[in-house]
């Protein structure tokens, strides 16, 4: 489970890094542009990785009997909300026929995506400490 969570987090971070680079390019959003097609692939990868990520975290907490359990479960609920909000923003962008750099820049700046990324960094550090401890 840790490996799956780690793989999902890495995929989300990889997509975000690509989005940062895309936003800096000044692309108008031509859907035929190979970079725009690659962006869609990364956005879909991110959306898929977010699907069920909170449930995976909760299962990991239960399986590894992390304690005290309630703070982990409470954070799982935060992760569920933040992942849902980030997915809604990503899906809105994916619904557009053309995705410009400006649109991606706005997505990158979204508090929803930033909250999600911070959640993932926090989980990574907490689990790292629990693994070492």
Question: CA–CA distance from 98 to each of 17, 42, 64, 89, 94 (Å)?
Answer: 20, 15, 44, 15, 9
| CATH number, domain containing residue 9 | 1.20.120
Please name the helix (run of DSSP H) or strand (run of DSSP E) that holds residue 45, with its range, or none. helix 34-50
Show the domain range for 56: 2-132
Averaged pLDDT in 10-residue chunks for the chain of 133 residues? 92 96 89 90 97 96 93 97 98 96 96 96 88 59
Q: How many distinct structural domains can be found in the chain?
A: 1
- Predicted TM-score (pTM) of the model is 0.92
Which of 103, 100, 107 has the alpha carbon at shortest distance from 85?
107
Q: Hey, how many other C-beta atoms are within 10 angstroms of the C-beta on 21?
A: 13
């Amino acid at each position: 489970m840790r490996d799956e969570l780690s793989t999902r987090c890495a995929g989300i971070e990889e997509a975000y890094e690509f989005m940062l680079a895309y936003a800096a390019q000044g692309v108008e959003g031509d859907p035929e542009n190979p970079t725009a097609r690659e962006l869609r692939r990364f956005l879909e990868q991110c959306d898929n990785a977010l699907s069920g990520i909170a449930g995976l975290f909760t299962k990991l907490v239960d399986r590894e009997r992390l304690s005290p359990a309630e703070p982990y479960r409470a954070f799982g609920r935060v992760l569920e909300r933040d992942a849902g909000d980030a997915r809604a923003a990503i899906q809105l962008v994916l619904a557009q026929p053309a995705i410009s750099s400006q649109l991606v820049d706005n997505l990158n700046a979204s508090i929803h995506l930033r909250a999600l990324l911070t959640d993932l960094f926090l989980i990574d550090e907490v689990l790292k400490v629990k693994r070492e401890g």
